[in-house]
């Protein structure tokens, strides 16, 4: 069982890393990336609470407080909802609720209260403004149809490929929703979805950043269903993943080379527009290639250091000097 659990954990990590919506976010040192760590710690705390309520409750409470400190109290509401859903729906958590609940509350207060209390006691205008900005939730025009339309356009690609596997797991494990391996990630997914949708309705603005924590429970559910997939399906997924990411990598390299050499002209112009101010971009193709691959025209200079009549091509013997001059 231990080795099986480790294999499932490794699969969940790989699925989370392969989620399309996280490709750019996980490489940024922002609060959005930190929310992944907070969500994973919260899920771990709930799982641990099934057997060790005290230590698990400490982790759960600290994770709820960390979610509030990293983003806002409105985001932490989703974790509170997930805790309530899990503690009422999962058998193992219901049995330990008398120990789990007070431990979670105490841990959340110890971790989450010092910073806002310090700001409120400081009394300066800057501290009060920072505290108000942390608590306040901007209210905008609510439009249910626009939020649903945005979700229908964004969710399928943002959580690909984890959501089809997670949906399959929920369907084939519908008789075991009260068990911790399925019930806890499902409760976390439900609580975060309700909170994200409620915040979007209140603020009138949907954002991809609110979807990032949802990748954790989806990856957990998807990993549980992987061992039950047919061999042909796993091979198809492997082939599709390798093909998509290989084409994506080739496209990125081609775009970068176009911006470096100036050919093809259309992607080169787009690269220069996106990389405005980058001195490495926008080199002329003959000048970029002359130091390493001189053409017959370049081998017959008509003047000192020049290639024919084209003043844009310069013969440079030292590749280091060539790079410095071209940059």
Query: Which pLDDT does position 315 carry in this prediction?
Result: 42
Sorting pLDDT into bands at 50, 70 and 90, what band is 276? low
**Ranges 66-80, 177-191, 251-265: which has the least confidence:** 251-265
Question: And the tokens for 100?
Answer: 């789990």
> Is the pLDDT reported for residue 289 higher than 60?
no
Question: And the tokens for 59?
Answer: 């982790």
Instruction: Let me know: does 61 contact 106? Beta carbons within 8 Å.
Output: yes
The owner of tokens 């399309």 is 20
The predicted model scores a pTM of 0.75
Query: Which pLDDT does position 205 carry in this prediction?
Result: 80
Query: Which pLDDT does position 293 carry in this prediction?
Result: 45
Strands 310-314 and 306-307: antiparallel
Query: Which pLDDT does position 278 carry in this prediction?
Result: 56
Query: Which pLDDT does position 228 carry in this prediction?
Result: 82
SS3 311: strand
Query: Which pLDDT does position 300 carry in this prediction?
Result: 45
- Pick from 162, 157, 151, 161: which is nearest to 217 by CA? 162
> Is the pLDDT reported for residue 184 higher than 80?
yes
* pLDDT tens digits, one per residue of 60-74: 999 999 999 998 899
Sorting pLDDT into bands at 50, 70 and 90, what band is 95? very high
SS3 112: helix
* pLDDT tens digits, one per residue of 208-238: 888 999 999 999 999 998 888 888 887 887 7
> Is the pLDDT reported for residue 101 higher than 60?
yes
Average pLDDT of the residues in 79-106: 95
CA distance 69 to 324: 46
Average pLDDT of the residues in 155-177: 91
């Amino acid at each position: 069982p231990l080795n099986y659990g480790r294999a499932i954990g490794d699969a969940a990590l790989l699925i989370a890393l392969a989620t399309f919506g996280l490709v750019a976010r996980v490489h940024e040192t922002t609060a959005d990336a930190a929310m992944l760590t907070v969500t994973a710690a919260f899920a771990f705390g709930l799982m641990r609470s099934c057997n060790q309520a005290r230590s698990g409750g400490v982790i759960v409470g600290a994770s709820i407080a960390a979610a509030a400190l990293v983003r806002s109290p409105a985001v932490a509401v989703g974790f509170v909802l997930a805790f309530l859903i899990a503690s009422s729906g999962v058998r193992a958590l219901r049995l330990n609720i008398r120990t789990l609940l007070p431990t979670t509350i105490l841990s959340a207060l110890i971790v989450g209260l010092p910073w806002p209390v310090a700001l409120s006691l400081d009394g300066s205008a800057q501290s009060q403004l920072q505290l108000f900005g942390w608590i306040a939730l901007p209210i905008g025009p609510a439009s249910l149809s626009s939020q649903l339309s945005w979700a229908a356009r964004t969710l399928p690609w943002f959580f690909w490929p984890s959501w089809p596997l997670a949906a399959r797991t929920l369907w084939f494990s519908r008789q075991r929703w009260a068990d911790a391996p399925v019930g806890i990630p499902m409760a976390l997914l439900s609580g975060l979805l309700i909170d994200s949708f409620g915040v979007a309705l209140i603020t009138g603005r949907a954002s991809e950043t609110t979807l990032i924590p949802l990748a954790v429970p989806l990856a957990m559910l998807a990993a549980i269903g992987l061992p039950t997939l047919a061999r042909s399906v796993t091979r198809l997924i492997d082939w599709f993943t390798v093909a998509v990411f290989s084409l994506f990598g080739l496209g990125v390299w081609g775009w970068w080379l176009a911006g470096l050499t100036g050919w093809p002209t259309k992607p080169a112009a787009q690269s220069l527009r996106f990389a405005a101010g980058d001195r490495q971009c926008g080199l002329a193709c003959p000048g970029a290639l002359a130091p390493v691959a001189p053409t017959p025209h370049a081998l017959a200079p008509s003047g000192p250091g020049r290639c024919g009549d084209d003043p844009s091509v310069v013969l440079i013997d030292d590749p280091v000097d060539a790079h410095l001059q071209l940059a």
